[in-house]
């Protein structure tokens, strides 16, 4: 990775994070973090299945004064998208142990996902007040700062998370997203490359790096990354749409049409894929090469 990082203090335009690349405009900006639907609890060891929720409910019933039991069940509720039940469990965990940093961070994630940025920020601040070395909370708070347009604060939080947890794919990915939003594409590519090395099963860093490669007109590298993205996550709408654009820019219209068609199979009303499919001469009912 490059060692020299731009001084964000000197960049006044960093006060506003915007979508900058044509590729991102077509395909939709990359996800805000890796595994965005999974609560940030490091104790979360259970899949969000009804049987596991029932099992954890049994644990709560047997241990009604154990904050960890509520925190764990809340994490699984959050993973299942049952946000109100997750919040109730995190509230209970915090009422039982007001110094439970992880419960604050998990509740912050739910607030973040439900667009309650100020509540999320307050909970991340509390978690970090209780545990100044809690990398997950720095990442979460950094994402909130980025969403609020506070890029310098986000940059500092991601740097802190990386210093504490240099093996955190999330930290590198999110710092890369910040660089990408500011047209710092080589720095973004460096960070996405590190994230890929740390978490090769996730589509998001491949998609994000592919978008930055497209922004610097390296369409061959972009196509390679988006090949990996769709193999890692075959139902990822953005991966297929972005891949279509990469192959379109390479002049490989058959692969482009095949990628756009795959995106339309996932969501038939996805306008960027519909527009791209038409642009490359795609016709419904025909077969196209994808690889």
The position carrying tokens 């700062």 is 145
Other Cβ atoms less than 10 A from the Cβ of 96: the count is: 17
Q: Look at residue 222 in the predicted model and tell me its pLDDT.
A: 98
d(C-alpha 188, C-alpha 29), whole Å: 14
Cite the DSSP H helix spans in the chain: 22-27, 50-62, 67-79, 83-96, 101-113, 117-130, 135-147, 151-164, 169-181, 185-198, 204-215, 219-232, 237-249, 253-266, 271-279
The pLDDT score that the predictor gives to residue 47 is 65
Both tokens assigned to 184: 């710092």
Structure-token pair, residue 101: 């940093």
Q: Classify residue 284 as exposed, middle or buried by CB count within 10 Å of its CB (0-12, 13-18, 19+).
A: exposed
14-43 in b/e form (b: 16+ CB < 10 A) is: beebeebbebbebbbbbbbbbeeeebbbee
pTM greater than 0.95 (yes/no): no
| Per-residue CA distances from 212 to 29, 34, 51, 260 (Å) | 11, 17, 41, 20
Averaged over successive runs of 10 residues, the pLDDT of the chain (291 residues) comes to 42 28 35 41 57 88 94 92 95 97 97 96 98 97 95 97 97 97 96 94 95 98 98 97 98 96 96 96 88 90
Looking at residue 9, what is its pLDDT?
A: 33
Predicted confidence at residue 46, as pLDDT, reads 57
Lookup: tokens for 57:
């409910």
pLDDT at 243: 98
Amino acid 44: pLDDT: 46
269 Cβ neighbours under 8 A, 6+ residues apart? none
Short-list 95, 51, 42, 96, CA closest to 72: 42
Structure confidence at residue 25 (pLDDT): 34
* Six token digits for residue 234: 């075959």
pLDDT at residue 223 in the model: 98
Measured CA to CA, the distance from residue 44 to residue 136 in angstroms comes to 13
CA distance 219 to 269: 26
Tokens standing for residue 68: 């960890």
Half-sphere exposure (CA, 13 Å, Cβ side) for 202?
Answer: 23
For residue 247, which of 285, 216, 291, 197 has the smallest C-alpha distance? 291
Domains of the chain: 32-131 (1.25.40.10)
Sign of CA dihedral 264, 196, 16, 101: positive
């Amino acid at each position: 990775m490059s060692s020299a990082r731009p001084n964000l203090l000197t960049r006044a335009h960093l006060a506003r994070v915007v979508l900058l690349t044509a590729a991102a405009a077509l395909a939709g900006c990359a996800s805000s973090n890796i595994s965005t639907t999974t609560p940030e609890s490091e104790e979360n060891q259970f899949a969000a299945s009804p049987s596991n929720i029932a099992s954890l409910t049994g644990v709560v019933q047997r241990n009604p004064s154990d904050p960890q039991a509520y925190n764990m069940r809340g994490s699984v509720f959050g993973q299942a998208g049952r946000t109100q039940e997750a919040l109730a469990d995190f509230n209970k965990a915090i009422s039982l142990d007001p110094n439970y940093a992880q419960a604050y961070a998990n509740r912050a994630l739910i607030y973040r996902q439900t667009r309650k940025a100020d509540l999320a920020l307050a909970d991340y601040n509390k978690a970090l007040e209780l545990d100044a070395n809690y990398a997950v909370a720095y990442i979460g708070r950094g994402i909130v700062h980025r969403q609020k347009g506070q890029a310098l604060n986000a940059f500092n939080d991601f740097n802190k998370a990386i210093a504490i947890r240099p093996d955190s794919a999330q930290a590198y990915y999110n710092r890369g997203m910040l660089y990408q939003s500011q047209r710092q594409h080589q720095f973004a590519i460096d960070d996405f490359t590190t994230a890929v090395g740390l978490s090769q099963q996730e589509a998001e860093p491949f998609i994000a790096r592919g978008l930055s490669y497209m922004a610097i007109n390296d369409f061959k590298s972009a196509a390679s990354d988006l090949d990996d993205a769709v193999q890692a996550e075959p139902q990822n709408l953005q991966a297929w749409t972005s891949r279509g654009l990469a192959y379109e820019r390479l002049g490989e219209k058959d692969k482009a049409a095949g990628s756009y068609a795959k995106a339309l199979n996932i969501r038939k009303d996805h306008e960027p894929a519909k527009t791209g499919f038409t642009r490359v001469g795609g016709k419904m009912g025909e077969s196209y090469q994808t690889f």
